Amino acid sequence: MTEAERSAAGRSLRDAVLSLPEAQMAGTVAAYISIGTEPETRGLVYALWKRGTYVLLPLLLADHDLDWASYEGPDSLAAGPRGLLQPTERPRGVTAVTSADLVIVPALAVDRGGLRLGRGGGSYDRALARVGAAVPTVALIYDGELLGEVPAGRHDQRVRMVARPQQGITRLR
């Protein structure tokens, strides 16, 4: 995809997630700042924050687990490990994600059963394992990345929805 196509996809994903009733009612959302060619999330994170949602962003720890800190606007981000942009606010702990009413996660692909393919570090699987069964979880992917099956291990956690630029939100089994 070109940069312009990725930018347009990011805007579509932003609009799809913001239209979710679960996002409109959420007091706290755990999200992430995209890197590289991942679907763009800066607009989504900013929009959530501007409408008064408390946004938690991850801090990558040395053991690949995720701590969480609050997003306080675009100027509250700094360079972190592996090319990540991370919040500069005080870390809230690895269990802070349990306070989220909605959790937005990255994925390289997701299957129709909700298993997501990540980058192999297990960071988001650990975070998702802490999230309650009733909390909506959504992976942001491009249109061709919802597959029949993805490789999975016993530690892999499922997401309940995917957001795709053209198809919008798909709720998974």
pLDDT score for 140 = 98
**Residues 107, 53: Cα–Cα separation, whole Å:** 23
Express each pLDDT in 48-75 by its tens digit: 999 999 999 999 999 999 999 999 999 9
Residue 2 has pLDDT above 80, yes or no: yes
User: Which pair of tokens denotes residue 20?
Assistant: 């979710």
User: Which pair of tokens denotes residue 158?
Assistant: 């499922």
**Structural domain that includes position 92:** 3-171
**Burial 128-147, CB ≥16 within 10 A → b, else e:** bebbeeebbbbbbbbeebbe
Predicted confidence band at 22 (pLDDT cuts at 50, 70, 90)?
Answer: very high
pLDDT score for 116 = 95
pLDDT score for 119 = 83
Express each pLDDT in 76-114 by its tens digit: 999 988 888 899 999 999 999 999 999 999 999 999 999
Residue 45 has pLDDT above 90, yes or no: yes
State the residue for tokens 């959420």: 26
pLDDT score for 29 = 98
Express each pLDDT in 151-171 by its tens digit: 998 889 999 999 999 999 999
| pTM beyond cutoff 0.75 | yes
Express each pLDDT in 114-129 by its tens digit: 999 988 789 999 999 9
HSE value, Cβ hemisphere, 13 Å, CA-based, for 155: 9
* Domain total of the chain: 1
**DSSP-derived secondary structure for the chain:** --HHHHHHHHHHHHHHHHHSHHHHH-SEEE-----TTSPP-HHHHHHHHHTT-EEEEEEE-TTS-EEEEE--SGGGEEE-GGG-EEE-SPP--GGGGGG-SEEEEE-SEEETTSBEE--SS-HHHHHHHHS-TTS-EEEE--GGGEES-----TT--B-SEEEETTTEEEE--
pLDDT score for 120 = 74
pLDDT score for 39 = 94
pLDDT score for 171 = 97
Check which CATH number belongs to the domain holding 44 and give it. 3.40.50.10420
- Pairing mode, strands 109-111 and 161-164: unpaired
Is the torsion defined by CA of 95, 156, 16, 77 positive or negative? Answer: positive
